[in-house]
Structure 1
Amino acid sequence: MIKSIFSALPLFLFVFISTAEAQERVLSKEEAIDLTLENNLGIQVARNTQKIDDNNAGILNSGYLPTVTANAGGSIDKQNTEGQLASGDTRTADGAETRRYNASVDVNYTLFDGLNRYYSYKSFKERSQQSELEVRQTIENTILQLFAVYYEAARLTENTKNLEQALGISKDRLKRARYQFEYGQNTGLDVLNAEVDINTDSINLLNSRQQLRNTMRDLNLVLNQDLSSQFLADTTVNFVPGLQMENMHNEAKSNNIRLQLVEKDMNITMYNVKAAKSVFLPTIGLTGTYGWNESSNNSPLAFLIQNTSTGVTGAVNLSWNLFDGGRGITGIKNVKIGYENQELLKKQIELEVERDIRNAWDSYTNALYVLEVQEKNLQTNQNNFNRTDERYKLGQVTSIEFRQAQLNLLNAELAQSQAKYSAKLAELQMLQISGQLLNVDF
Structure 2
Amino acid sequence: MSALVLAAVLAATPVTLEDARARSRENVQALTALLQVSSAEQDVRIARSSLLPQLRFQTGANLDYNGPQRYTDIVAVDGGFERQVIDVPESLIPSFGLSVTLQQSIYDRAVWARLSQSGAQLEAQRGEAFEQQDTSELEGIQRFYALFRSQATILVLQKNVERSEQQLERARALFQAGRVGKAEELSAQVNLGNDRIAVVSRQSQLATDQTRLAAWLAMPGAEVVEAVDPGVLNQPAAPAPALDQALETARTRRPLLMALRERLRAAELQESIARAGYLPRLTLQGTYSRGGPNADIVFTQPKLQNSVSGGVGLSWDIFNGFSTQAQARRAEYQSRVAELNLQQNERELEGSVRQAHVTLQAQITSTELAEANRKAASDALSLAEERFNAGVSSTLEVRDAQLKLTQAELTLLENRINVEIARFGLMRAMGTLAPGEAK
TM-score range, shorter chain: 0.7 to 0.9
Tell me the amino acid that sits aligned with residue 155 of structure 1: R
Alpha-carbon distance between aligned partners in 2 of 1:262 and 1:97, rounded to the nearest angstrom? 65
Alignment of 1:309-320 (within 5 A): 309-320=305-316
Please give the TM-score of this superposition, normalised by the length of structure 2. Answer: 0.87
Tell me the amino acid that sits aligned with residue 20 of structure 1: V
Distance 1:429 1:243, change over 3 A: same
Which stretch of the first structure deviates more once superposed, 183-192 or 350-359?
Answer: 183-192
Give the match for residue 165 of structure 1. Answer: 159
Give the match for residue 286 of structure 1. Answer: 284
Alpha-carbon distance between aligned partners in 2 of 1:51 and 1:207, rounded to the nearest angstrom? 47
| 1:391 positional shift | 2.7
Give the match for residue 211 of structure 1. Answer: 205
1:224 matched to 2:222? The reply is: no
Alpha-carbon distance between aligned partners in 2 of 1:377 and 1:270, rounded to the nearest angstrom? 59
Give the match for residue 54 of structure 1. Answer: 41
Give the match for residue 9 of structure 2. Answer: 20
Tell me the amino acid that sits aligned with residue 127 of structure 1: Q
Distance 1:314 1:256, change over 3 A: same
| 1:244 positional shift | 1.8
Distance 1:266 1:66, change over 3 A: same
Give the match for residue 34 of structure 1. Answer: 22
1:143 matched to 2:137? The reply is: yes
| 1:69 positional shift | 2.7
Which stretch of the first structure deviates more once superposed, 87-96 or 186-195?
Answer: 87-96
Give the match for residue 67 of structure 1. Answer: 54
Tell me the amino acid that sits aligned with residue 36 of structure 1: S
Alpha-carbon distance between aligned partners in 2 of 1:348 and 1:97, rounded to the nearest angstrom? 73
What value does the CA root-mean-square deviation take over the aligned residues?
A: 2.6
The answer as to whether partners of 2:61 and 2:94 remain within 8 angstroms in 1 is no
Distance 1:183 1:116, change over 3 A: same
Give the match for residue 297 of structure 2. Answer: none
1:135-169 Cα offsets, whole Å, 9 max, x none, are 11011111111111111111111111110111122
1:51-73 Cα offsets, whole Å, 9 max, x none, are 00111112665411233333323
Tell me the amino acid that sits aligned with residue 233 of structure 1: V
The answer as to whether partners of 2:103 and 2:286 remain within 8 angstroms in 1 is yes
The answer as to whether partners of 2:240 and 2:361 remain within 8 angstroms in 1 is no
Alpha-carbon distance between aligned partners in 1 of 2:282 and 2:77, rounded to the nearest angstrom? 55
Tell me the amino acid that sits aligned with residue 5 of structure 2: F
| 1:85 positional shift | 7.4
Distance 1:92 1:126, change over 3 A: same
Alpha-carbon distance between aligned partners in 2 of 1:16 and 1:350, rounded to the nearest angstrom? 48
Give the match for residue 180 of structure 1. Answer: 174
Give the match for residue 9 of structure 1. Answer: none
| 1:344 positional shift | 2.0
The answer as to whether partners of 1:371 and 1:419 remain within 8 angstroms in 2 is yes
Give the match for residue 120 of structure 2. Answer: 126
The answer as to whether partners of 1:252 and 1:434 remain within 8 angstroms in 2 is yes
Tell me the amino acid that sits aligned with residue 399 of structure 1: T
Alpha-carbon distance between aligned partners in 1 of 2:188 and 2:207, rounded to the nearest angstrom? 29
Alpha-carbon distance between aligned partners in 2 of 1:96 and 1:422, rounded to the nearest angstrom? 91
The answer as to whether partners of 1:62 and 1:121 remain within 8 angstroms in 2 is no
| 1:337 positional shift | 1.3
Q: Which of residues 410, 415, 418 in structure 1 aligns to 2:414?
A: 418
| 1:81 positional shift | 6.6
Which stretch of the first structure deviates more once superposed, 201-210 or 29-38?
Answer: 29-38
The answer as to whether partners of 1:378 and 1:413 remain within 8 angstroms in 2 is yes
Alpha-carbon distance between aligned partners in 2 of 1:75 and 1:393, rounded to the nearest angstrom? 115
1:397 matched to 2:402? The reply is: no
Tell me the amino acid that sits aligned with residue 103 of structure 1: L
1:234-264 Cα offsets, whole Å, 9 max, x none, are 2422656672222112112222233222211
Q: % of aligned pairs identical?
A: 19
Alpha-carbon distance between aligned partners in 2 of 1:327 and 1:244, rounded to the nearest angstrom? 53
The answer as to whether partners of 1:294 and 1:308 remain within 8 angstroms in 2 is no
Tell me the amino acid that sits aligned with residue 266 of structure 2: I
SS of structure 1 residue aligned to 2:231: coil
Distance 1:350 1:48, change over 3 A: same
1:317-363 Cα offsets, whole Å, 9 max, x none, are 22211121122211111111121222222222222122222222111
In structure 1, stretches of 5+ residues that fail to align are 1-11, 297-306
1:390-414 Cα offsets, whole Å, 9 max, x none, are 3322223210110011011101100
Give the match for residue 429 of structure 1. Answer: 425
Alpha-carbon distance between aligned partners in 2 of 1:77 and 1:346, rounded to the nearest angstrom? 66
1:186-236 Cα offsets, whole Å, 9 max, x none, are 333223322321232122111222211210111111111012232243242
SS of structure 2 residue aligned to 1:231: strand
Give the match for residue 299 of structure 2. Answer: none
In structure 2, stretches of 5+ residues that fail to align are 295-302
Which stretch of the first structure deviates more once superposed, 48-57 or 426-435?
Answer: 426-435
Distance 1:235 1:407, change over 3 A: farther
SS of structure 1 residue aligned to 2:305: strand
Q: Which of residues 227, 231, 236 in structure 2 aligns to 1:236?
A: 231
How many residue pairs end up in the alignment?
Answer: 416
Tell me the amino acid that sits aligned with residue 69 of structure 1: R
Tell me the amino acid that sits aligned with residue 404 of structure 2: N
Alpha-carbon distance between aligned partners in 2 of 1:146 and 1:61, rounded to the nearest angstrom? 39
SS of structure 2 residue aligned to 1:58: helix
The answer as to whether partners of 2:171 and 2:184 remain within 8 angstroms in 1 is yes
Distance 1:130 1:99, change over 3 A: same
Alpha-carbon distance between aligned partners in 1 of 2:93 and 2:136, rounded to the nearest angstrom? 72
Distance 1:348 1:93, change over 3 A: closer
The answer as to whether partners of 2:47 and 2:111 remain within 8 angstroms in 1 is no
Which stretch of the first structure deviates more once superposed, 79-88 or 254-263?
Answer: 79-88
Tell me the amino acid that sits aligned with residue 77 of structure 1: Y
1:152 matched to 2:146? The reply is: yes
The answer as to whether partners of 1:371 and 1:416 remain within 8 angstroms in 2 is yes
Alpha-carbon distance between aligned partners in 2 of 1:433 and 1:328, rounded to the nearest angstrom? 42
